[in-house]
Structure 1
Amino acid sequence: MKLVPSIALLFACALHAAEELPVVPRIESVGLFKNGVAVVRASFEAKQAGSYRWEDLPRSIHGSFWVESDGVVSVRATTRMVAEPAAGPTGQLQRDLAGQTLTVRLKKGSEGGESPVISGKVWTLPEQPAKKTWDSAFSSPPNPWLSVTQGARMELPVSTGNFLVLEGERGRQFVDLGSIASFSVDGEETPATRKVEKPVMVFEVAEPPKDGGRVRISYLARGLAWAPSYRLDLKEGGKLAIRRSAVVRNELIVLQDTEVQLISGFPNIEFAHVDSALWGGATLAAFFQQLGQPAGSGVGAASQQLVMYNSMAPTAAATLPDFQEKGAGDDLYYESVGKRSLEPGDSLSLELPAAETKCERVVEWVVTDPRDGRGHYLSRSEKEGNEPWDALKFTNPFDFPLTTTPVVITEAGRFRGQSLSQWVNPGQSTCLRVTKALSLQTRSTEMEEEGQREVVWVGGNDYRRTKVKGTLELHNFRNKEVTLDIRAGFSGEMLESEGKPVTRLRTEGVTSVNPQRELAWTIKLAAGEEKTVTYRYSVWWISRRKKNGLRL
């Protein structure tokens, strides 16, 4: 007996499927990063040797899919004809009514008379598995315009054209769709399922695991994220209540009584933009194209927003160490929020543990360095604003870090401001701006002092050394005392200053001729008080530059 190739393929798929036991791995836990990448752990029961078929494949990240089992298990990604719920009517009668017995009434002819009636069973179109061809001409360098599905093509589907094919006692009848006046379905219901070809993952268990016969798997995938937010409530007596919340967004997989863990930190996920070759939609052309792209190029706009939220580079984490719920390791913190159930598309808002701490209200005034590394004054567009801000100074009271997140600040139930809190370690102090201090008048000026300018030849350029006097003017129009935290940047060597400020080097100036420094004062200013603070420094600035070996 010779089988038609497509029928033979269907028979082989059905034979494989009969030998395989379908399984749905239980999602035991998910660990959520803020950039949309999640650590997924799942398992299924395999108490005896055999083949186990997983039909809903994860789109895992390259290099992250692992079988964590003490048994002997191998994994194969392939395709199978599997049963799926039948789709609703599509308007294609041959497919919608396949297998049904119809009574068809045709339109009357031009001579009139009774309308002809035909009965028969609607012929079922044969399933046609996709035939794939593979593009082995991998571009080098990768072509950024290649589609993820490049190289996989499906032939034209089987069709009966403009005819409805019925099977009756006289064989097949081809009825022109345009000649049908009406029809009725005789008795039989529409099939509840249909056979479709789907990518599947087959686990070949040669030796069952000893751990209760459960095969455990873990992988990284995109589609789960959490977004934190904090609220700071100002209390009397210098107290500050810190409330924490998180929104969990699921666009990946059904979670049913799944342990959800929120991960804070900056892990490295070098291949977050590369799909695993085990994924059903993978092709080698797309795989090598993604490998050739810079990390983070495929995370999407939504993920990039979460990444910015996390104050980190576009993608983040690697393989899967066995973290615990608390602590998890240096600079990576897991916080469990218990078992949760979420459908894809669901979002969940959670209240996290809160705490109180002491806080200090200050006015923060940051005076930016007016010069560049060559000693030249910056243009007005290059300078940042130098306005003073009311701010809160407090210490993290939790035994875990405060992550990067937006913060709403309230007092007596009234909104005061919103700020961005950066990563704050346990016991570390931070300062958040609340609102612009409009009732304090501040002004910063610099003036070059008269005198002889010293000229030095450095690296082929003429530098002139000059001395500068900086002045900070403060006026408190409030009816109460304020504490000012002032930081003034400058480029050069410190000569003298009032008020004994703390002087420190700024890291951004390590390659410039002038050391880039910062002065820091803490000044008490009484109600209505005015004060002036001065400082002096020397700076080198380029007067002539070398070009093509010549002085200009």
Structure 2
Amino acid sequence: MGYIRAFVATSLLGGLAVAQSSPSLPATHLKPKTVTAFKNGLAFVIRQGQAESQGGSGYLTRVPPAALGTLWVAPLDANVTLDELVATRISATYRAETRSATSIGDLLRANVGKRATLLLASGKEVSGVIRAFGPGSPTASALLYLEGDAANPGYTPFQPGDVKQVAFYELPASAVQTLQPEGDATEGKQLALRFRVKGATGPVNLTMGYLQSGLGWTPAYRITLEDDKTATIAMQALMINDAEDIENAEVFFVVGFPNFAFSRVLSPLALQQSLAAFLSSLARLPISGGENALSNAVLSQRAAPYRPEAADDAGTINGLLEGAAQSEEDLFLYGRQNVTLAKGERGAYNVFSGRVGYEHVYEWEIPAAPPVTVDSRRVTAPTETEPEKIWHTLRLTNSLKFPWTTAPALAMSADNKPLAQETLLYTPVGATTSLRLTLATDIRAQQSEQEAERKNDAVMINRSAYSAVAVNGALTLRNYKSKEVRLVVRKSVIGEVLSASHNGKAERTAEAVQSVNPISKIAWDFSLKAGETVTLTYRYKVLVN
């Protein structure tokens, strides 16, 4: 019994339109004009258009599953104000269609009557028979009703958005029947917003904005090494639409750390939950708010270490129109015009391409060897016999006019041969970042440490006597390549650094501040000619008892 994973869609039939509405008032569907998509699956959508009204009143159909406090409707005409907005249901005629299930909500709807186990966002598992998605017509509610067993009898309502995984006890159906307007079908109900404006009696231009889940994007990079100093970096936006149809809309792909504290709580105007369910969803919010519970390695940012190295030039940008990229407070937006993407589709869009400077750097990261206990004495751990790992990396400088967001990056040679794929970390304008290519086999390294001096009972700490041990270390590197290379070596030690050769720079970190021994780091940055060997030496003091 395997779990089926999918994007969670809180609105299963958000694309339904009114075929026959209540005769007293006209109904209008406003189409999306702009979409601001975030990497965590949230999007802020703005719909605009001319809405028909009778005496200043009318219906807006295709009500979105908006987050609490984000659904707003406003007139665009001068001297016209919104007086009332009411979420309701109006009559509509539908015909049946069958389509593939693309979300957990679809799978649940397609398997009504089957026994399943649901894994909720809280981590709790519940089992029972799937009975319905709410009472009444297919669009009346998106609530999931689960009939429990003898231990938990009765019907329990759930929000489909709270279901993260589902396991079925028999082969599940993979297709779901949906209802579309037109043709032979049954009468049903359609969610709608009834509006009333002041200052207009006929058609009125309206805008509607809201935040919803099910529409997001993820970036991907291609880095092509043109020569020994110049690379072309291209970013592609991969857009995932499980929310609603988009036609000729302007889309903004956002880079940054969005904070929408109520994104997991549906607005009452979405008309998809009872008062009890609404209050329950509020009670489940984390105390600190925010989006921390939604973060993961693909949807969040990780920043590259800041290295204040100035770019040699401003870089060259291709394929990005002026004004298409802009900054809003601490967020950065990449813009794209005329995007058409239906619900259930995925799209890939080239956002920018630019030339930047880079350098081949070979990096050796050496962790601290912790002291070990031997016959009640603490001594330095012996060096491992495994080959030392030196990484061949690309040191890229962001000389473009906009930051690089965290994303997978494919490195290619000038003749389009793949070199490596690694994560490109968030890199601000003017900063540098390292991208690992492969382990360097033509640069060999060895390390060793020996006890040089010991002073027994040198220090008393908390009534305990500590001996001061001085340790000498050596790092030997040999360049077997036919050309000079740049090497960056970083060595961590447990103790206080006393000296380091070859202009090694030592610093004490704030790690393990409660320990009697500090965590220190030594860094070397130098060039090594072809065939040469260098030995870096250092000395540090560690307290043992």
TM-score normalised over the length of structure 2: 0.69
| Distance in 2 between residues matched to 1:209 and 1:538, nearest whole Å | 85
> CA offset at residue 299 of structure 1?
9.4
Query: CA, structure 1 residues 424+251, in 2 after alignment: closer, same or farther (shift >3 Å)?
Result: same
Structure 2 counterpart of 1:257, from 235, 248, 257: 248
Query: CA, structure 1 residues 344+298, in 2 after alignment: closer, same or farther (shift >3 Å)?
Result: farther
Structure 2 counterpart of 1:203, from 192, 195, 207: 195
Report the equivalent of 1:65: 71
| Distance in 2 between residues matched to 1:460 and 1:220, nearest whole Å | 61
Structure 2 counterpart of 1:45, from 14, 38, 50: 50
Query: CA, structure 1 residues 498+239, in 2 after alignment: closer, same or farther (shift >3 Å)?
Result: same
Task: Give yes or no for contact 2:334–2:351 (8 Å, CA) kept in 1.
Answer: no
Report the equivalent of 1:497: 500
Deviations 1:121-145 (A, max 9, x none): xxxxxx977999x9xxxxxxxxxx8
| Distance in 2 between residues matched to 1:209 and 1:396, nearest whole Å | 55
> CA offset at residue 285 of structure 1?
3.0
> CA offset at residue 507 of structure 1?
4.2
> CA offset at residue 438 of structure 1?
1.5
Task: Give yes or no for contact 2:456–2:466 (8 Å, CA) kept in 1.
Answer: no
> CA offset at residue 200 of structure 1?
2.4
Query: CA, structure 1 residues 447+263, in 2 after alignment: closer, same or farther (shift >3 Å)?
Result: same
Task: Give yes or no for contact 1:149–1:282 (8 Å, CA) kept in 2.
Answer: no
Query: CA, structure 1 residues 202+511, in 2 after alignment: closer, same or farther (shift >3 Å)?
Result: farther
RMSD over equivalenced CA pairs, Å:
4.0
Deviations 1:379-415 (A, max 9, x none): 99x9x99611001112102100011011111113211
SS of 2:267's equivalent in the other structure is coil
Deviations 1:252-310 (A, max 9, x none): 111111111111111212222222222222223332333333559999999856415x4
| Distance in 2 between residues matched to 1:247 and 1:537, nearest whole Å | 50
Q: Which runs of 5+ in 2 are unaligned?
A: 1-19, 99-134, 144-155, 162-181, 304-322
Structure 2 counterpart of 1:539, from 538, 542, 545: 542
Report the equivalent of 1:396: 398
Report the equivalent of 2:476: 473
Structure 1 counterpart of 2:84, from 56, 74, 92: 74
Task: Give yes or no for contact 2:28–2:51 (8 Å, CA) kept in 1.
Answer: no
Q: Which has the larger radius of gyration?
A: 1
Map 1:502-517; keep pairs closer than 5 Å: 502-517=505-520
The one-letter amino acid of 1:205's match is V
Task: Give yes or no for contact 1:62–1:275 (8 Å, CA) kept in 2.
Answer: yes
Structure 2 counterpart of 1:421, from 412, 424, 430: 424
1:277 pairs with 2:282: no
Report the equivalent of 2:411: 409
Task: Give yes or no for contact 1:30–1:258 (8 Å, CA) kept in 2.
Answer: yes
TM-score normalised over the length of structure 1: 0.68
Query: CA, structure 1 residues 440+347, in 2 after alignment: closer, same or farther (shift >3 Å)?
Result: same
Query: CA, structure 1 residues 451+236, in 2 after alignment: closer, same or farther (shift >3 Å)?
Result: same
Report the equivalent of 1:171: none
Q: Which runs of 5+ in 1 are unaligned?
A: 1-14, 90-126, 135-144, 151-189, 313-323, 544-552
Map 1:286-325; keep pairs closer than 5 Å: 286-293=277-284, 304=296, 306-308=298-300, 310-311=301-302
| Distance in 1 between residues matched to 2:24 and 2:186, nearest whole Å | 20
Structure 2 counterpart of 1:86, from 83, 95, 100: 95
Deviations 1:46-101 (A, max 9, x none): 57653322232111112222234461232222222x22233379xxxxxxxxxxxx
Query: CA, structure 1 residues 301+252, in 2 after alignment: closer, same or farther (shift >3 Å)?
Result: farther
Report the equivalent of 1:112: none
The one-letter amino acid of 2:271's match is G
Structure 1 counterpart of 2:452, from 449, 454, 479: 449
Task: Give yes or no for contact 2:27–2:52 (8 Å, CA) kept in 1.
Answer: no
Aligned residue-pair number: 427
Task: Give yes or no for contact 1:149–1:281 (8 Å, CA) kept in 2.
Answer: no
Q: What fraction of aligned residue pairs are identical, expressed as a percent?
A: 26
Report the equivalent of 1:32: 37
| Distance in 2 between residues matched to 1:470 and 1:209, nearest whole Å | 86
Task: Give yes or no for contact 1:440–1:478 (8 Å, CA) kept in 2.
Answer: yes
Map 1:172-187; keep pairs closer than 5 Å: none
Query: CA, structure 1 residues 533+311, in 2 after alignment: closer, same or farther (shift >3 Å)?
Result: closer
Structure holding more helix per residue: 1
| Distance in 2 between residues matched to 1:77 and 1:385, nearest whole Å | 67
Report the equivalent of 2:311: none
List structure 1 segments (4+ residues) > 6 angstroms apart after TM superposition. 127-132, 296-303, 374-380
Report the equivalent of 2:124: none
Task: Give yes or no for contact 1:444–1:472 (8 Å, CA) kept in 2.
Answer: yes
SS of 1:354's equivalent in the other structure is strand
| Distance in 2 between residues matched to 1:346 and 1:377, nearest whole Å | 61
Deviations 1:347-393 (A, max 9, x none): 11112221112211111111122339x9989999x9x9961100111
Report the equivalent of 2:114: none
The one-letter amino acid of 1:203's match is F
| Distance in 2 between residues matched to 1:51 and 1:385, nearest whole Å | 76
Report the equivalent of 2:105: none
